[in-house]
Amino acid sequence: KKKACEYIGINSKSFELPGDTSEKELLELLERLNNDSSINGILVQLPVPDYIDPLKVINTISPSKDVDGFSPYSVGCLNLGEKGFLSCTPAGIVELLKRSDIEIDGKHCVIMGRSNIVGKPMASLMLNNNATVTITHSHTRNLKEICKTADILIVALGQKEFVTSEYVKEGAVVIDVGIHRDENNKLSGDVLYDDVAPHCSAITPVPGGVGPMTIAMLMYNCVEAVEI
């Protein structure tokens, strides 16, 4: 993120806090940054320690500086189809689809995972682009059958190489949001790439797929924040 800021000419500041920083201290820092007119955007690297309430942290960031797009205000704008900061990973995925000339309008999109960071905002954003959306989660029955109906399958499970070709219909587009690092420092996703790729019309790799688009949309939000 720092390198991306440098690359496009954004001045970034990092606050690397000790591991025993209290919730009160973190919230006070965020309030100072909210009130600093030289700061246009604020993001907190999640996850925070267990003793800090992440919702309190997100709620403390001024909506006009919420470049991650996580605040209730930003989420509300997304759900209403109003202009606001978009959650970076879902926004990056939609931008990737559009720039790859992959049609969204009228397509069936299955999203595997219902997190507040990817799954839920992804569903709203695809709905805003006129897709028909299904979300699957840990209580979903007939998971393989549902996934095999997807024109666009977006996988954000957090389970290494969970999705095989048995989950994918021929010619589908597969977006792999997962990222896992093994003991040899090798990265892989939620999709078993070599098994699934021959059955897809398009598939994102890990690394080098969704990750760079997330950073790109974060930079976009930072530029937008200057104009607010």
Residue 45 appears among annotated catalytic residues: yes
Report cis status (omega within 30 of 0) of the bond before 121: no
Q: Which of 66, 68, 151, 190 is catalytic?
A: 68
Q: Nearest to residue 132, comparing CAs of 160, 109, 148, 102? A: 109
Residue for token pair 């840990």: 138
- Check if 68 is active-site: yes
Burial of 172 (0-12, 13-18, 19+ CB in 10 A): buried
CA-to-CA separations, 5 to 67, 86, 90, 112, in angstroms, rounded: 13, 18, 20, 31
CB atoms within 10 A of CB 195: 14
Catalytic residue chosen out of the listed positions 45, 101, 182, 194: 45
CA 81 to chain centre: 18
| Tokens standing for residue 84 | 């606001």
CA distances from 12 to 3, 7, 9, 43 (A): 9, 11, 9, 11
Residue 133: in which H helix or E strand, if any? strand 132-136
Q: Please answer whether residues 26 and 50 qualify as being in contact, where contact means their C-beta atoms are separated by less than 8 angstroms.
A: no
| Catalytic site includes residue 159 | no
| Residues known to be catalytic | 1, 45, 68
